[in-house]
Each structure stands twice: as structure tokens, then as C-alpha cells.
Structure 1
Amino acid sequence: MGDRLTQLQDAVDQLAQQFVACIHYINRHHNLETLGPNDQIRDVKQEPDKQEVDPHPAEVFKASQVELAQDLITKEQQIEYLISVLPGLDNNEKDQERNIKELEEELKVAEAQRQDAIKEREDTLAKLDAVIRSIRRP
């Protein structure tokens, strides 16, 4: 998993792909209907096995539209969440500096603990080595 900006960019890219998929689905599976008195449905001659529009039944088409819309809303909410957790949106410069100093202090403490653990490990290894060297075969 990447950082928050990478996650946000990935989510925006996925939303764009979902938009394209929605438009493709609607364009491919809508009913051929005239909307006005002067509208005409074109009769495009194509290969017999390739149709420009493959209408789905009205109930299936409507249910699919609802599902596509719900997916778009879910992705949009995910993007809003990712934006809301970005640093700096609700923090001013002083708050950010304070947070950085706190994190630096935590890092110093963690580094001191790590150094202590390394020293303890080296001491333990030295003692173990001394014990192993002191063992004599009968």
C-alpha cells in the first residue's frame, strides 16, 4: 500500500475508469427509443454477429444503472475520506511543526530503545560465547 497521495491518485483513476465503464454499459445496453417527433433510429448495416446496441430488459437495465450509481458513490466517498485524512487540511503550520517535533521525540526514544536492545544482544552473545568456550569435553 502506498502513501495517502498515491492511494488518492489510484482512487481517482479507478473512479475515471468506472465512469467510462458506466458510459460504455449505458451506450451498449439502452433501448432504442425516439425522444422527439423528429428523431429517427439509424439503421446501420454491420456484420451479423456484431450489434451496435444490445438492449437489456428494462428491469435489468434499471437495476444495473442503480448498481453502477452505487459503485460510483462508494468510490467518491472513499476519495472524500482519503482527502479528509491528508495532513494539513485542518492543521495550521504551528500544529504541523508541533506534530513533527513530537514525532522526532518519539523517534529519539525509539532509537535509544533500539540501541539498548542492540547492546543487550551483544552482551548476551558475549556471555553465551564465553559459556560455550568454557565447556570442555569429558
Structure 2
Amino acid sequence: MADRLTQLQDCYDQLATQFYASIRYLTLHHNSSALTLPPPSSPQHNHNNSNSNANANFNHEHQESFSYLPEKRPDTPTAFASAQRELAQDLLLKTKQIEYLISVLPGVESSQEKQEVRIAELDVELREALEERKKAEEEREIWLGRVDGIIGEIKR
């Protein structure tokens, strides 16, 4: 299982995805009238023909970018309201999960002095564990030497 900070980051990513999905749903399924693009402005009559072509190309590309959106499919008012409630409940649930993960992070409810004392205790424990490891490695080397000696005598 992942640590709490990783869980918290995953929840924030999921929340962002839920926000995007909610906005997309609301955009595609509402029954309001769609916004229309302003009529294309007439190109200025200019002696420089390349400037007129650039304006025409810009207007054409600008209009195509709006036509990229999928066609709007409005839901019934009842279905839309139900979906809105469900999306809102999902967002609230995810934010409560995030709040819980934040509340159980170490150090949220302890003062800086308590945290420093705990860090010092952990540092002492770490040094003791490193000493034990060093002694175990030395003992392993001794036993390895003995086993090598026994194997060497057996080979003779």
C-alpha cells in the first residue's frame, strides 16, 4: 500500500479528473441555447494581398477550432438534475477523503518541538540499527572465513 502522501496526491489527481468530467458533462448535456460565433469580419481591403490571405486563414482556423467540440446532446431536466446531484456528491466525497488523509498525516496535530524530539529518537534508533548491522556483517565475514577454511580442508 502506498504511503499517505502518495494516496493524497492520487486523490488530488482523481479530484481534478472528476472536475474535468463534471464540467464536460455539464457542457455537453445542458439544455441551454448554444453560444454562436460572431460573424466573420470582412477582410480589410489592403494593397498587400498576403495580409488579406493571412486574415482569411486565421478566421477559417478560428472557426474550425470551435467545430471540434462534439455535438451537444441535452438530457431531460430530471436526468440532468439527477446527474448534477451525483456529480456533486462524488466531488464532496473525494474532498472529504482528501480532508481525512490530511488530518492523519504525521505532525498535523503535534508541535514543532514534539516533531524534533521524535526525529531525534528516530535518529538514535537508526544509529543503533546501523551498529547492529555492522556487527552482523562482521560476524558474517568471520563465519564466511570459517566456511571457506573448512571447504579448503575438504578439497585437500
Same structural fold, with TM-score higher than 0.5 when normalized by the shorter chain: yes
* From 121, 125, 134, the counterpart of 2:144: 125
- Using CA pairs under 8 Å that are at least 6 residues apart, name the structure with larger relative contact order, 1 or 2: 2
Q: Distance in 1 between matches of 2:81 and 2:120?
A: 55
Shift of 1:18: 1.8
TM-score (norm. length: structure 1): 0.69
Q: Which residue of 2 aligns with 1:116?
A: 135
Q: Does 1:78 align with 2:113?
A: no
Post-superposition CA distance 1:48-100 (Å, at most 9, x none)? xx52x202345543443343223212321222123213343211122111111
| TM alignment of 1:1-138, pairs within 5 A | 4=5, 8-32=8-32, 41=33, 51=71, 53-58=72-77, 60-136=79-155
Q: Distance in 2 between matches of 1:19 and 1:136?
A: 73
Runs ≥4 residues deviating over 6 A: none
Tell me: CA distance 1:68–1:129, structure 2 relative to 1, closer, same or farther (3 Å). Answer: same
TM-score (norm. length: structure 2): 0.62
3-state SS of paired residue (2:155): coil
RMSD after superposition: 3.1
Identity %: 45
For structure 2, the 5+ residue unaligned runs are 38-65
Q: Distance in 2 between matches of 1:105 and 1:135?
A: 45
For structure 1, the 5+ residue unaligned runs are 33-40
Shift of 1:10: 4.8
Tell me: CA distance 1:114–1:44, structure 2 relative to 1, closer, same or farther (3 Å). Answer: same
